[in-house]
Amino acid sequence: MSNPATTEKRAVILLSGGLDSATVLAMARRDGLTCYALSIDYGQRHSAELDAARQVAITGGAVAHKIVSVDLASIGGSALTDTSIGVPTGPTEGIPVTYVPARNTTFLAIALGWAEVLGATEIHLGINAVDYSGYPDCRPEFITAYQRLADVATKAGVEHHGAQIKAPLIDLSKAEIIRAGMALGVDYASTVSCYNLAASGAACGDCDACHLRAEGFTRAGVADPTRYQSRR
């Protein structure tokens, strides 16, 4: 009989605690992957998303969950890491102030290192079509370029068994993501999307992330389980 430890297919899942990454974890589990969840404490406005990530990792079936600290707040430049920059409540043009400089570049670097240590063959993250226009590190060309980097930046890569970077939601709308997650039993009530949570943990209902989330549930025809500060 073969040893399961030598035949399992491992994947590192970047898990923010949000709707998208929870769905990615569920998809990876569905596909038979042994999942190692990775969350980054990067100096974001609130820790609620990390608490959500812990819960999602448990209920989503990750075999391990690692939280790594990287102080992106020390360089600022984003409403998510600098409290002197307000979180916008209306539509924005161009790249929004909620863009965090080099966030996905940094997150993937850490995921790449852990994947090599684990012998994981895949890295999954939850970027998707809704974020294309606003965030440069959520675009297909970013993933393509990062894969080229990964293939030459690690021992596993140059030996031709490095991790492949997967973005399974990249062509999906929020509604499509929610429908897929519901079919896989994802508990979206335990996820956090809001950029500007109240101390009580209630979502603001006004930021772009809240609007996209609420619209996604509406278009999916699914009741929104989010607790908002004000009634929508």
- Of 15, 107, 68, 79, which Cα lies nearest the Cα of 209? 79
Residue 72 domain flag:
yes
* C-alpha to C-alpha distances, 144 to 111, 128, 137, 148, 163, nearest whole angstrom: 16, 14, 11, 7, 13
pTM for this prediction: 0.92
Q: Is residue 48 part of a domain?
A: yes
The whole-number average pLDDT for the span 10-23 is: 97
CA distances from 48 to 21, 137, 194 (A): 15, 23, 10
109-141 tens-digit pLDDT: 999 999 999 999 999 999 987 766 688 999 999
Task: Report the sign of the C-alpha dihedral through residues 137, 141, 145, 146, in that order.
Answer: positive
Q: Which of 69, 70, 67 is nearest to 36 (CA)?
A: 67
Which CATH number fits the domain that encloses residue 92? 3.40.50.620
Query: How many domains does the chain divide into?
Result: 1
- The average pLDDT across 179-191 equals 96
The angle that helices 48-59 and 19-30 make with each other, rounded to 10 degrees, is 20
Q: Is residue 231 part of a domain?
A: no
Is 229 inside a domain boundary?
no
The answer on pLDDT for 3 being more than 60 is no
